[in-house]
A and B are shown apart, each in its own frame.
Chain A
Amino acid sequence: MNTSSATAPLLEINNLYVKLPAGAERSHAVEDVSYTLNNNEILCVVGESGSGKSITARAIMGILPAPHVHVDKGKIEFNGEELTTAKESRLREIRGGEISMIFQEPMTALNPVMTIGKQIDEVIRFHTKIKKRDRRERAIHLIASVHLPDPEQIISSYPHELSGGQRQRAMIAMALAMEPKILIADEPTTALDVTTQAQILKLIKELQQSHDTGVLFITHDFGVVADIADRVAVMQHGKIVEIGTTHQVLNNPQHPYTQSLMKAVPSLVPPAVRAISEQQELAVNKLTKTYSSGGGWFGFGAKARVVHAAQSVDISLHKGETLGVVGESGSGKSTLARCIVRLINAEEGSIVYNGVDLRPLNRAEMRPYRSKIQMVFQDPFASLNPRTKVGRIIADGPRILGADAADAERRAREMLNLVGLDDRAFDRFPHEFSGGQRQRIGIARALAMDPEILVADEPVSALDVSIQAQILQLLADIRERLQLSMIFITHDLRVAAQVCDRIAVMRLGNIVEMGPTSTLFKQAEHEYTRELLNAVPGKDWRPQASQV
């Protein structure tokens, strides 16, 4: 940390304004933003979606979505050179050469029909005049430096042939091809699993130290900030509300917005144990679901690919209890949830609800139980029909169960109030609501069926941290008031710690460990659980506010 060094900063942004097109929510995406980035320093810019953190980064690179969004006034100085007025040809030299950037979703950020090697080669060829063979050497060396196995193989692979973490490593290798002075990382770990995220963070830190790079790290996750940042800038509505060293900002936040954000970060310390009834409501025994593709007719002996999404899974749920199912992507947690709700059919095992095995029931036999187990989905944007009014979305369920139109409507309005939405929402379309409000609608829809069990599949992972806190609060309220049992699927151990009474850890279709939340967090038995717990970003940092 050389914040007090006398040398001029590597990057200096002064009173930057970025103009949005007319008709946008606000006139400027970025307003009066000033910050500096020094050599060999990681500056984290934190903020919720729409705070202008990414736009500032794009303004530095000169890759704002022109001509609608452009720098209005202010200065961006890179090593003393003014970037806002620089010529396009000079900017092209800087981009990828002296300042480079990595992005959130490495799958879409890489060209799907071009090999990794070619995409790296392009950068080197554009910025230097070295020969083809030497460029190949360099690409292989770069791939090796981000700890990818078998670099020769990797450079001739296409992006879809690599895993998410490998793609992000390849992306980093590409960004570092010209040894840039600044690396801008725009939410580089948000789309990754928690253990992969920990590895990528470590890699970025390692490379930053060995190359003396200044890193501008954009994130929404205070855990990540705690792990990686030297200094932190907090943005809200296009303005910087607070900037300081990581220690200052995280442990002694001054601005009320920063304080409220910190408060919204769930703590890793589980709350006191709740008393749960002994009555078992749902028991899933030896549930098995496999997906297979390929093979079949005319397969010429090509092997069918078989994925064991759930392998002999046993879980039980007591009345009023919240059971967390935790795991990384592909662990089968969503498959399990969908099998329980009977959205997909498991091949083997039983789903016993109050003494009845639901698994073998056909459509008609299942109908009386449908309403009892309801689901809340992850993506509040995709899970509501955009052409249907909110009132109908909610009232449809009761109506199908036989309620008359007036009753169903009354119930829908009641549910809207219950989830904290105005009555007027009834006649509106889903797109008129924000992500958090839509998730409330999704919950209202599930509750309108008067369920006993709520299966929530990552209900908060698409939401900003402050909204996430509100939705979690809402779910907790409802759980108490309606005496609901809940199966809560999440990849976020912080959320799980706060919400769940017991946690089942899933990996590759198996439950590797299951136990009360506090026990699991204190003394995990299984190695994989410990690995997951260790990978949680900012695990050593305790937000002050939430310790109360």
Chain B
Amino acid sequence: MSQNTKRVRYVLKRLLQAIPVIFAILVVNFFLLHLAEGDAVDVLAGEAGSATPEYMAQLREKFGLDKPLPVQLVVYLKNVLSFDLGYSFRHGMPVTELVLDRFVPTLLLMVSTIVIAVGFGIVLGLLAAAGLNTWKDNLISIFALITYATPLFWIGLMMIVVFALKLRWFPTSGIENVVMFYEGWDRVKDIAHHLVMPTITLSLFYLALYTRLMRASMLEQAGMDYVITARAKGMTERRIMFVHVLRNALLPVVTMAGVQVGALIGGSVIVESVFAWPGLGMLAYEALFARDLNLLLGIFLLSALLVVAINLIVDIIYSFLDPRIEVS
């Protein structure tokens, strides 16, 4: 069997395995959210100010919140199967539409963050390991330590103060300048301009993490037997570092990055709030306080799908990087 058919078979197998995982996530999420006190009706009634118990009961009946939990669950699962994630009372929009609408900015933020964090992390870690115990190594290590130790929200606020308010290099918030009605390339440029600060803020922490991991991994690999073999073959130190050690050292970084993509969604809640980035994170934050359970469930489902998909992608990348991993 060729390597490619094996890979296709592997992807199919993983997709099938994902079905029970997602089902379990759906059920757990549903019950978790119902553990919380209060429902959408409480919030709506609270905001309206003068809701009679009769009116609240009427609302509950309308939303189906008066039925026993298992029935609600079955209804929910049925709806999910037909791609209907329900209706957000808060936003007055179908959840599917709302979530997909907010998904794009978040995806944009996540992808740019991963690319920057992993890319620069690998380069910096490589440079630090190559110049072990020189000023380069020290500088990079100190930079990594400081960014590693600084809270996300503080970096975000400071960046707004320095680069947006004082220097006026970047806009303070939002995803684009709506009043300018940009189109085509101008719009892309505008969004990219808005993207810079949130991305840097979110990626700094992970950048520090991958820098340290890459440095440690490079140093560990540099002590392996095959490095001595390469040296005994007459290879230059440069080639040993960049050809032999690098690829082996990448493996743990890729693993780690794959695991952390899920955590990135959590991190994006803070960054999206700070920069008013209209993404899933901010939406989740709002939905949580509005007790908008349908919306929250929709966000959770989408995040779960995202994590499952990314894990699969990472595993496939891994199988290309490390021939010892068997995709079967």
Q: Which residues of A contact B (CB under 8 A)?
A: 61, 63, 92-97, 100-101, 103, 105, 108-114, 122-123, 126-127, 158, 160, 171, 174, 294, 297-300, 302
Which residues of A sit under 8 angstroms from B233, Cβ to Cβ? 95-96, 100, 122-123, 126, 174
Cβ contact within 8 Å between B234 and A113 = no
Which residues of B sit under 8 angstroms from A93, Cβ to Cβ? 234
The 9 closest A-B pairs by CB, nearest first: A96-B234, A96-B233, A95-B234, A108-B225, A101-B232, A158-B323, A111-B226, A92-B234, A109-B225
Choose from B232, B248, B324 the contact partner of A61 (Cβ within 8 Å).
Answer: B232
Choose from B232, B235, B236, B321 the contact partner of A113 (Cβ within 8 Å).
Answer: B321
B247 within 8 A of A: yes
- How far apart sit A28 and B90, CA to CA, in the bound complex (Å)? 78
B50 within 8 A of A: no
- How far apart sit A369 and B124, CA to CA, in the bound complex (Å)? 58
Which residues of B sit under 8 angstroms from A113, Cβ to Cβ? 247-248, 321-324
Which residues of B sit under 8 angstroms from A110, Cβ to Cβ? 226, 229
8 pairs of residues in contact across A and B, judged by CB atoms under 8 Å: A93-B234, A95-B234, A109-B228, A111-B248, A113-B324, A122-B230, A122-B233, A300-B13
Cβ contact within 8 Å between A95 and B232 = yes
Cβ contact within 8 Å between B234 and A126 = yes
Cβ contact within 8 Å between B12 and A300 = yes
Cβ contact within 8 Å between B229 and A103 = yes
Contact indicator per residue, chain B 235-262, by CB within 8 Å of chain A (1) or not (0): 1100000001001100000000000000
Cβ contact within 8 Å between B248 and A112 = yes
B150 within 8 A of A: no
- Given that A105-B225, A112-B226 are known contacts, is A96 also in contact with B324, CB under 8 Å in the complex? no
Contact indicator per residue, chain B 193-227, by CB within 8 Å of chain A (1) or not (0): 00000000000000000000000000000001110
Which residues of A sit under 8 angstroms from B234, Cβ to Cβ? 92-97, 123, 126-127
- Give the shortest distance, in Å, between B282 (CB) and chain A (any CB): 37
- How far apart sit A160 and B323, CA to CA, in the bound complex (Å)? 9
- How far apart sit A380 and B17, CA to CA, in the bound complex (Å)? 42
Q: Which residues of B contact A (CB under 8 A)?
A: 9, 12-13, 16-17, 224-226, 228-236, 244, 247-248, 321-324, 328
Cβ contact within 8 Å between A299 and B13 = yes
- Given that A111-B226, A298-B17, A302-B328 are known contacts, is A95 also in contact with B248, CB under 8 Å in the complex? no
- How far apart sit A174 and B324, CA to CA, in the bound complex (Å)? 21
- How far apart sit A122 and B244, CA to CA, in the bound complex (Å)? 11
Name B230's closest neighbour in chain A (CB-CB): A111
- A-B contacts counted at CB < 8 A amount to 80
Cβ contact within 8 Å between B9 and A114 = no
Which residues of B sit under 8 angstroms from A96, Cβ to Cβ? 232-235
- Give the shortest distance, in Å, between B44 (CB) and chain A (any CB): 45
- How far apart sit A451 and B115, CA to CA, in the bound complex (Å)? 60
- Give the shortest distance, in Å, between A542 (CB) and chain B (any CB): 36
Which residues of A sit under 8 angstroms from B225, Cβ to Cβ? 103, 105, 108-109
Which residues of B sit under 8 angstroms from A298, Cβ to Cβ? 13, 16-17
Cβ contact within 8 Å between B324 and A160 = yes
- Give the shortest distance, in Å, between B26 (CB) and chain A (any CB): 20
- How far apart sit A122 and B323, CA to CA, in the bound complex (Å)? 19
- Given that A96-B232, A97-B234, A300-B9 are known contacts, is A108 also in contact with B322, CB under 8 Å in the complex? no
- How far apart sit A103 and B322, CA to CA, in the bound complex (Å)? 23
Choose from B9, B322, B324 the contact partner of A302 (Cβ within 8 Å).
Answer: B9
- How far apart sit A96 and B321, CA to CA, in the bound complex (Å)? 27
- Give the shortest distance, in Å, between B155 (CB) and chain A (any CB): 36
- How far apart sit A122 and B239, CA to CA, in the bound complex (Å)? 10
- Give the shortest distance, in Å, between B17 (CB) and chain A (any CB): 6
Which residues of B sit under 8 angstroms from A108, Cβ to Cβ? 224-226
- How far apart sit A294 and B248, CA to CA, in the bound complex (Å)? 26
Which residues of A sit under 8 angstroms from B247, Cβ to Cβ? 113-114
Cβ contact within 8 Å between B226 and A109 = yes
- Give the shortest distance, in Å, between B311 (CB) and chain A (any CB): 16
Cβ contact within 8 Å between B231 and A95 = yes
- Given that A109-B228, A113-B323 are known contacts, is A126 also in contact with B235, CB under 8 Å in the complex? yes
Name A95's closest neighbour in chain B (CB-CB): B234
- How far apart sit A100 and B323, CA to CA, in the bound complex (Å)? 27
- How far apart sit A95 and B235, CA to CA, in the bound complex (Å)? 8
Which residues of A sit under 8 angstroms from B235, Cβ to Cβ? 92, 96, 122, 126
Name A63's closest neighbour in chain B (CB-CB): B231
- How far apart sit A109 and B236, CA to CA, in the bound complex (Å)? 17
Which residues of A sit under 8 angstroms from B244, Cβ to Cβ? 111, 114
- Give the shortest distance, in Å, between B107 (CB) and chain A (any CB): 28
- How far apart sit A67 and B138, CA to CA, in the bound complex (Å)? 20
- Given that A94-B234, A126-B235, A160-B323 are known contacts, is A109 also in contact with B328, CB under 8 Å in the complex? no
Cβ contact within 8 Å between A92 and B236 = yes
Name A171's closest neighbour in chain B (CB-CB): B229
Which residues of A sit under 8 angstroms from B228, Cβ to Cβ? 63, 103, 109
A61-B232, A63-B232, A92-B234 known, 10 other contacts, Cβ within 8 Å = A96-B233, A97-B234, A103-B225, A111-B229, A112-B323, A112-B324, A126-B233, A160-B323, A174-B233, A300-B13
Name B321's closest neighbour in chain A (CB-CB): A113
- Give the shortest distance, in Å, between B321 (CB) and chain A (any CB): 7
- How far apart sit A300 and B247, CA to CA, in the bound complex (Å)? 32
- How far apart sit A463 and B232, CA to CA, in the bound complex (Å)? 28
Which residues of B sit under 8 angstroms from A294, Cβ to Cβ? 328
Choose from A109, A126, A300, A302 the contact partner of B229 (Cβ within 8 Å).
Answer: A109
Which residues of A sit under 8 angstroms from B230, Cβ to Cβ? 111, 122
- How far apart sit A111 and B322, CA to CA, in the bound complex (Å)? 11
Considering residues B17, B226, B244, which has the most beta carbons from chain A within 10 angstroms of its beta carbon?
Answer: B226
- How far apart sit A108 and B227, CA to CA, in the bound complex (Å)? 9
- How far apart sit A294 and B326, CA to CA, in the bound complex (Å)? 10
